[in-house]
Chains A and B, each alone.
Chain A
């Protein structure tokens, strides 16, 4: 009997398992990189700024695991130590951008009126410039150093969060639970802190990891151009910059390892961000 056989409808969309794989892969990569950064001194026999007078541009193998650069510094050790700077600056900068952007976005979105107009025009000014050009200008203004670089990259990214959170808050403030909070006697700050903040952060949670990857690229780009971290401090962008001339001469080991490190790290952030986004979508279904 035809009626007894089962008619399946094939599932076309991805489910939560795919998201899980992405999150785990991205997370694992980042944890490995972070561990490498933390235990860098134990993993390499040379210091990051230590110069081997006998071995400039030594090929990989032998005394230097990944060879040494033109200054005679150990590439492996520098790649590991650079993770501290790159990861540190990227995460701090994004954290700062999230805090500042969320605060501005929430004020603009909830209060509306001239506060909104004023804040959003400032955001417009920031967003009118291409991100990297703006980063160049700000870092040229502030100069290098860990704190200044964090501020530079945060300043470039904060406006996007301000817009995101503002849009979210504009929708949320019309929700019934905000009316319910008002009639329960909650103050404006109470409503923002207790109701708007926790509910408006959902998209931020998804964007922030992706943003960490971009922040890392911005930092590397600045350093590559000599505006970020400079030699002798180990940083992937400046290492690549230093090694460009060597590549032409066939000495790939000075710039390829930091480049690969950067790639893996950004990939980790991207996978994590994509995974979070997938999970959010899977939950919505």
Chain B
């Protein structure tokens, strides 16, 4: 058994640790199978310290959180110790546990709106909590509820206290959740994926709230996330979990810049970078452990694995400064070259057998000369398209798209970015003919979408956000992939041949054909989804957030596949994402949407390196960057839901550079060099930003 070798770090020596997990193992017994959810996990959290707990799904992050609040699932057997303020949470009696849950450790859940009771106002829920746990009187509680709301950055707290959970946006609900958790003055605040599902501009804001809680009130914070890059900024230390084991622990800056464990490196390399840095995928997926591992669980996916990794489990060894890791072959080369994110040394793991790997992330190289004339044809033309979702009763409705113009040629890839609610998904549905334009027109390969026959409509294909949900649960993989061919009345044997061809391009084995969606992993399902889109050789493929539901390393594999597919000359691709970095990877041109309008468009490098519109600048400034400290250029002043613009520029309410002209009149797209932007203040903007900084 691996004992925690040496006390981890300085912090533990300097201050008394608040949370002290030692050698924690959890095995969950279910009829027919058992799962080793955690194996010999040890780490500490000190008061005033923010510790990030990172890893992909299945790594055991949530199980750690559950163990800390004494809520392990039914049928689990735990060994080890979850020390909290001198007591052991695993062995507490129910009364102590109840007190511990409110005042000792409090959790902020991933889905804040689901964790708030829907029929009571958020103020009521907060005040109730204060009255029970803090023994406050009603008036006193109402006062401090207001203070708590203000402290998490809620404007107009008095009014927000009266709100019901469904009236709040995701960001606002997460803030309420934080105030609920901090309200009982817990020693430890646990945040389980607090920013998943939030927009980039909000993510940083929410993460700062946790840093704030640690700095001002001296709470310990355990920040759980799958995304190392985005939380690293606010963390003091990070703990990386893989298959229920701690693979690397250390100071955030150290682990982020010079990770030594191959898994941490794989994790970081899988994240696309806004600067256009290359994604290096790592093949395979996380194994499901049935018993505590006797070897290195990462060995099958690791390029550095030797015989020793497969026969013995590496002990956790301390390096310097509280940095420790469990690996026989720690890596020492820098992950990112200074300044530029260039492909790192050749010894790095890139074991994906991909013959076309070179074509992955080179936007310019997508159109080859011999396909030039085919590549020239226009495959998508959207002209002044408006979409209004009308409510069933009476007038009114939601104006989702307000005059969008797009043109796309075969061989080209168009990136569409924007925050949630900006009309990205509506645009995808519009192109696919799933919603009708209220005015304007959409044509795929020269034919108006509304007037197409069923077979003609298969000329445009879509890859969906939820890989498993986009496959019919009771249809086999073969059936799903062949669906577009069935509509085109392709005979059965030709169907089978084409299906297999599409499948082999996705590097999937034929044995998968007879399986059902629930038997697939997320990555496999998305490959099947892409195969379905490809099989009929369409003119246009729309990728609607194809990787946002996937784990980081799987995301990198799928992005690699998509980059290859998108570079085909035969069809055009539209790639929709809220994540700017993934778009930068392989789009030729990019369109930035804001509240149903195109606010900026142009060649991808132009827009990303020399953004014109304040909104684009704000988005780029909020995107996490690896291996460098960021400089936020533009900070939007409010959340999206608070900004309602009746006239004038849609961004007026949130823009720091707003003028009276912006409030009264809307600017149309104007050319600035290679790109176009819709903003009155573009010419002065560089000077304005210089002044404010």
Contact = CB atoms under 8 A, between A and B. Distances in A.
Contact of B454 (A16, A180, A185): A185
Given A9-B75, A11-B74, A182-B434, A177 B458 contact: no
DSSP class of B's interface residues: helix, strand, loop or mixed?
mixed
Nearest to A201: B474
A3 B78 CA distance: 10
Given A179-B470, A185-B455, A3 B464 contact: no
B78 A6 contact: yes
Interface string B528-568: 01001000000000000000000000000000000000000
Interface stretch (A92-100, A130-138, A191-199, A218-226): A191-199
B90 A7 contact: yes
Contact of A176 (B75, B80, B470): B470
B462 A183 contact: yes
Contact of B74 (A10, A175, A181): A10
A183 B432 contact: yes
B582 interface: no
B474 A199 contact: yes
Interface in B17-49: 22-23, 29-32
Interface residues of B, number: 48
Contact of A195 (B79, B429, B461, B475): B475
B464 A7 contact: no
A181 B434 CA distance: 11
A185 B458 contact: yes
A177 B471 contact: yes
A9 B532 contact: no
B488 interface: yes
A54 to B, nearest CB: 60
B638 interface: no
A67 to B, nearest CB: 48
Contact of A180 (B88, B470, B474): B470
Contacts, number: 113
Contacts of B475: 194-195, 198
B86 interface: no
Contacts of A186: 454, 483, 486-487
B73 interface: yes
B488 A3 contact: no
A189 to B, nearest CB: 11
A125 interface: no
A120 to B, nearest CB: 16
B74 A7 contact: no
A205 interface: no
B473 interface: yes
Nearest to B456: A185
B447 interface: no
9 contacts: A3-B23, A12-B74, A16-B31, A175-B469, A179-B429, A183-B460, A184-B461, A184-B532, A185-B483
Given A177-B471, A183-B434, A186-B486, 19 more contacts: A2-B88, A3-B22, A3-B79, A5-B79, A6-B77, A7-B78, A12-B74, A15-B30, A17-B31, A175-B469, A176-B466, A179-B429, A179-B434, A180-B529, A184-B461, A185-B487, A190-B487, A199-B472, A199-B473
4 smallest CB-CB distances across A and B, nearest first, come from A185-B487, A198-B474, A184-B483, A185-B458
